[in-house]
């Protein structure tokens, strides 16, 4: 019988790429999610019955244990950018990670891969970064043999980074950003998936790996590159610290007093704190080179999915060529 992997959060942005690659490796894949009926799109990643979404609540021991039973590897991709309701940073990043690692040890699961983030820091002002660090510590407490992956900002077709700002640039001539000088090392989602699969297959040494793409750029430079790709002109405005803080606080209050019905998807106070620190691979860290992976560049991928934000969408280059032709006549 083929081997089995349980991927917690396997229908999410990163998880779906891991699920697809594990299916290609011939493994059976359990995609553990809160709403299996909304994750049916993962089933065609393999042959009928190979990839199955299953119900799981990572805040509950019995739920986590039941979907892990019989697995040969587990991958934890669950994470939130904005804690809402019961799914707080502490509940998801720290307690959820601890629960998965502890139960994997009890069930003698051979391999465990945990997706964290560059910037995980127990001393950070950001709750996101602190709980990511707490999750890593909890995983290592129960599984010293774990593979921990710390990606920088992740880009790809379904990302919440370039897609969000691309949509903003399509709607307005001004693009406001906070932390314009903060440095990032964007990493392609499928490269992160490759690293996770090596860990699940037992083909990577235990330890923590920081994953960044081949380029380091400031937030402002990334927005300039995005605007070039989508053929739009917009004024990039770096918000002063106080203005950004007031805006983030206001959005947070709307979310709080609406009981989470109106989610702050623009800028939170915690995200603003994170933007004070560069999000790049540290000099001494293990990374893609240690895994034998050559990461792809932004330029080779962005146009594949950001074309929808161009003035004429997929036909924008054709329209531009036609304009040039008329000008030559």
* pLDDT tens track for 185-197: 999 999 999 999 9
Over residues 187-225, the pLDDT tens digits come to 999 999 999 999 999 999 999 999 999 999 999 999 999
Over residues 61-103, the pLDDT tens digits come to 999 999 999 999 999 999 999 988 899 999 999 999 999 999 9
**Which H or E element spans position 84?**
none
pLDDT band at 49 (very low <50, low <70, confident <90, very high): very high
Residue 241 confidence (pLDDT): 87
* pTM assigned to the model: 0.93
Q: What share of the chain is helix, strand, coil (3-state, %, to 5)?
A: 45, 15, 40
Q: Is 118 exposed, middle or buried (0-12, 13-18, 19+ CB in 10 A)?
A: buried
Residue 326 confidence (pLDDT): 57
Residue 13 confidence (pLDDT): 97
Report the topology of domain 4-158+185-215+279-296. Rossmann fold (3.40.50)
Question: For the chain, what is the largest distance between any 2 Cα atoms, rounded to a whole number of angstroms?
Answer: 76
């Amino acid at each position: 019988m083929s081997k089995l992997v349980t991927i917690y959060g396997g229908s999410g942005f990163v998880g779906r790429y891991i699920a697809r690659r594990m299916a290609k490796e011939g493994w059976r894949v359990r995609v553990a999610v809160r709403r299996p009926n909304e994750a049916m799109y993962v089933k065609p990643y393999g042959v009928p019955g190979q990839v199955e979404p299953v119900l799981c609540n990572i805040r509950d021991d019995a739920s986590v244990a039941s979907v892990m039973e019989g697995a040969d590897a587990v991958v934890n991709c669950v994470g939130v950018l904005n804690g809402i309701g019961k799914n707080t940073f502490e509940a998801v990043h720290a307690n959820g990670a601890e629960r998965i690692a502890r139960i994997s040890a009890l069930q003698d699961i051979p391999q465990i891969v945990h997706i964290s983030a560059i910037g995980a820091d127990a001393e950070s002002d950001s709750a996101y970064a602190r709980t990511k660090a707490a999750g890593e510590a909890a995983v290592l407490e129960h599984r010293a043999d774990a593979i921990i992956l710390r990606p920088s900002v992740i880009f790809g077709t379904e990302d919440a980074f370039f897609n969000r700002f691309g949509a903003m640039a399509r709607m307005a001539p001004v693009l406001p950003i906070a932390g314009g000088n903060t440095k990032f090392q964007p990493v392609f989602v499928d490269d992160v998936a490759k690293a996770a699969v090596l860990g699940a297959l037992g083909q990577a040494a235990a330890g923590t790996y920081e994953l960044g793409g081949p380029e380091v750029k400031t937030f402002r430079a990334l927005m300039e590159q995005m605007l070039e790709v989508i053929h739009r002109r917009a004024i990039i405005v770096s918000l002063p610290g106080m203005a950004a803080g007031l805006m983030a606080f206001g959005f947070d209050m709307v979310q709080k007093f609406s009981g989470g019905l109106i989610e702050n998807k623009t800028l939170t106070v915690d995200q603003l704190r994170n933007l004070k620190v560069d999000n790049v691979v540290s000099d001494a860290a293990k990374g893609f080179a240690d895994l034998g992976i050559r990461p792809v560049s932004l330029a080779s991928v962005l146009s594949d999915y950001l074309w929808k934000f161009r003035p004429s969408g997929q036909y924008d280059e054709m329209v531009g060529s036609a304009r040039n032709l008329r000008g030559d006549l």
